[in-house]
Amino acid sequence: MTQILIYAGVAWIAVIVTMYLGQRSMIYFPDQTEPHPHDHGLPRMESIRIAVDDSVEILAWWHAPAGEAQPVVVYFHGNAGHIGERDYKIREMVEIGYGVLLATYRYNAGAGGKGSEQALLDDARRAIEFVKSHGIAENRIVLYGESLGSGVAVAMAAEHDVAGLILETPYSSIAEVAHSRYWFALAKWLIHDRYDSLARIGKVRAPILLFHGDADTTIPMRFGERLYDAAPEPKEAHYYPGGRHTDLYDHGAGEVVMNFLDRCAARMRAG
């Protein structure tokens, strides 16, 4: 029995060490595809590169707003796939004249960087600086965070005086989500990139829209509910029965997002 316990203990330690050393490969899934907006039915958008440090330029699609009273959506996507796969989420925004910056991260699209929380937050800051360099004030920017990107968006909303914050399938923290799956590996205490949205959400001063599906197995809805409960007003949540991690637009989320953006635009026009 003693020998069995020793072997089990050694195996457990080996699992912990392996997961600890490889944890970022379990969070970030590089995709070197370099999609072009013309190939995704978005000819009005421009494919650009934004310098985030001396050696890395992230890929982004940019559409300038049609007028000074139009919001500009800065979209931070999830940990996998490429920005072209989000074309259906931004198409109506572009068609009605809203500004959109759909940015990827430094570990994607041939940028040559590596993923980490600090790196992604730096990428997001450069993306916001790009928008501001076009004469667009922070209070015209609406941040949109999807999945992993929700943590990026919350962090940026806590730092900037933006017009709104949209959170699709968000979480309280990556550490909590990881621990719910890998409790045996002490994930909550050993994870590097925590994306602690719960600790940051109280600093957000903008209206918040959050939506989640109750059949989401990637980020279970309880983590989104926990974040929503901690969020300051004004806020609204939409929970979709049967909604999974990537199909919420099939459940009507697109209409909810556009309604929220239209209200942001109305507040801008009202001054």
For every residue of 114-136, DSSP letters joined together read ---HHHHHHHHHHHHHHHHTTT-
Do 84 and 250 touch, CB atoms closer than 8 A? no
pLDDT at 20 over 90: no
User: Which CA distances in Å does 264 have to 77, 150, 207?
Assistant: 21, 19, 9
pTM value is: 0.93
What is the reported pLDDT for 270?
A: 85
Which architecture characterizes domain 2-270 according to CATH?
A: 3-Layer(aba) Sandwich (3.40)
Do 46 and 83 touch, CB atoms closer than 8 A? no
User: Which CA distances in Å does 153 have to 2, 96, 146, 197, 264?
Assistant: 50, 23, 8, 9, 17
Alpha carbon distance 175, 199 (integer Å): 12
Alpha carbon distance 238, 214 (integer Å): 11
In this structure, what DSSP letter does residue 24 have? G
- How many C-alpha atoms does 112 have within 13 Å on its Cβ side? 8
Domain parsing of the chain, residue ranges: 2-270
Alpha carbon distance 174, 227 (integer Å): 12
Short-list 128, 162, 117, 118, CA closest to 142 = 162
What is the reported pLDDT for 1?
A: 63
Binning pLDDT at 50, 70 and 90, where does residue 4 land? low
pLDDT tens-place string over residues 208-249 = 999 999 999 999 999 999 999 999 999 999 999 999 999 999
pLDDT tens-place string over residues 52-68 = 988 899 999 999 999 88
